[in-house]
Amino acid sequence: MNYLKTVIGVCFTLLLLSACNEEGKLSLSQRSVIYCSEGSPETFNPQLVTSGTTIDATSNQLYDRLIAYQGEKNELIPALAKSWHVTRDGKKITFYLRKDVTFHQTDYFTPSRLFNADDVIFSFNRIIGAEHPFHLTSGGHYPFFQNIGFNKLIDKIEKINDYTIRFHLARADSTFLANLATDFAVIISAEYGQKLAKNNTKHNIDIMPIGTGPFKLKEYRVGSLIRFYRHEAYWQTPAQMEQLVFDITSSNTGRLTKLLAKECDVSSYPIAHEKITEHTDLTLESVTALNVGYFAFNTTKAPFDNVLVRQAISYAINKNVLLETIYQGHAEFANSILPNSSWAYDKNTKTQEFDLTKAQNLLAQAGYPDGFTMDLWAMPVQRPYNPNAINMAKLIQADLKKINIDVNIVSYEWNTFLHRLSLGEHQTFLLGWSADNPDPDNFFTPMLSCSATQTGSNRTFWCNQDYDELIQKALKTSNINKRKQYYAQAMDLISNEVPLIPIAHSKRYQARGKDIIGKIMAPFGGISFYQVGKSTINESSLNEKAQQDESITSEDIN
């Protein structure tokens, strides 16, 4: 650490003396990007979680997948697999792997070989094989894969040779390739796993990561920062930036302050959009995200196990006021969990009414004419699907007071909040879902299927066999029209049963300095800094930026 501090100190001294040295090397400021993140990751292995905070920090920075998405049409393209073949019956998928891919070399691991089929087998057998030596490491939970029944779908993974892998499926699945391109389907090093198992330190595989991605982990300080260095031997063109720093700042105001003071180059989930746009050196950008923000019930707890109570509350919440006040014009009214931009959206889906008389009548029918008292858990962080859950909870509290329901607002630290939700300790809650791929099943299965009640991503604990049968029928056919029909019926079931109340489909915003170039956000999944760089700036502004960066980095390193 002292060595690193000395090196950085020397770099800043040189930077203040000259924008470039005799050899034309760029300054540390120009070779680094500081990203103000809203929270700490739960783990450094995205196979283990579904939270956006973790995915942003890990998946596209540290890892690669067999295949990936590209372009506005979200076409599947080769990644670690240079090509693939699907049999006519859809039950055998063969991947032909690249032969020139290197894993990260770090302070804690030096690979002795290139990526090969053993790493693919290790990565996926860990997820699906209860007998795998790493399956139970870090708890043995793989929520995304458990939600989609991945272990039941795959009969076996066959190694044809060192660079050919074949997945044998129990049945055809129209979403299989889409799921392999998600942020969760990352490839980790089998050789690294063997080393950790030998040293009896298997847990390090998820907290001291080794991947093939464009960046490698250098340093992590919980609640403070994550420092990544460029993976120089990356199989694609190396990343433009030598250093990527996630400055973990949970406060919305704190991130805004750092952005305006140029203490970060890019900021997550910015507030005060008008203030940002007033600064000529900043840019506010957005993408139309595949997401949904919602109010939901724990349907296993009284009185919310009664569908009449759930329906009553749905009539009592004024969603238009929530959209105007919380989203301020940056979101669309949600009629279902599925955004209307999805090819599977049914335009005939019923629109939720705001009707206090109907709400009161339903409460009386349910046996609660005088109302009751309930807890509403509000997420403590800002997310695209809900930019201010605490304020939203207060508005809902006022709405429900009109039908004699008293609401206690509860909140916890983010990781604690998610953990206690997964345990089912809540009554009602505010949360949301951001899609991991453009297939509509990515909303239906992980959010509300029976299997997802076991993994913790279905926090409503609603399990409806008719719903599950519809989803399974949609998965088993590649006929788009039939899939749309099944999903329309599923949306109708949700509307009648009300395990949750969809509120909004929002845009995702990000603020950055105008000297930051390259694509970071996408409509679904996490962010990526792989193609991000900095444009050339003049010497006077460079010296000013260097002084600002010196104070930031000195504080980080001390």
CATH code, 100: 3.90.76.10
Question: How many CB atoms within 10 Å of residue 488?
Answer: 18
Q: Does residue 449 contact residue 458 with C-beta atoms inside 8 Å?
A: yes
Find the largest Cα–Cα distance for the chain.
Answer: 82
CATH number at residue 465: 3.10.105.10
Residue with tokens 């894993």, as numbered in its chain: 103
Alpha-carbon distance 242 to 467, whole Å? 49
Report the number of distinct structural domains present in the chain: 3
Q: What integer pLDDT is reported at residue 62 of this predicted model?
A: 98
pLDDT, position 350:
82
pLDDT value at residue 536: 65
Decide: 499 and 206 in contact? Cβ < 8 Å: no
Q: What is the pLDDT of residues 386-433, one digit of tens each?
A: 989 999 999 999 999 999 999 999 999 988 998 899 899 999 999 999
In this structure, the answer to whether residues 206 and 221 fall within a common structural domain is no
Answer yes or no: do 192 and 219 share one domain.
no
Q: In the chain, which residues have pLDDT < 70?
A: 1-28, 536-558
Segment 480-484 long-range contacts (CB within 8 Å, at least 24 positions apart) = 480/343, 483/174, 483/344, 483/440, 484/343, 484/344, 484/346
Beta strands in 263-364 (DSSP E): 266-268, 282-288, 291-297, 331-333
* Residues 6 or more apart in contact with residue 386 via CB below 8 angstroms: 293, 326, 379, 392, 430, 431, 432, 503, 504, 506
pLDDT at residue 307, as a whole number: 97
Same-domain status, 12 and 122:
no
Range of the domain at 182: 42-210
pLDDT of residue 300: 97
Residue 23: inside a domain: no
Judge whether 24 lies within some domain. Answer: no
- Average pLDDT of every residue of the chain: 89
Boundary-marking domain end, from 210, 232, 266: 210
Check residue 480 and give its pLDDT: 85
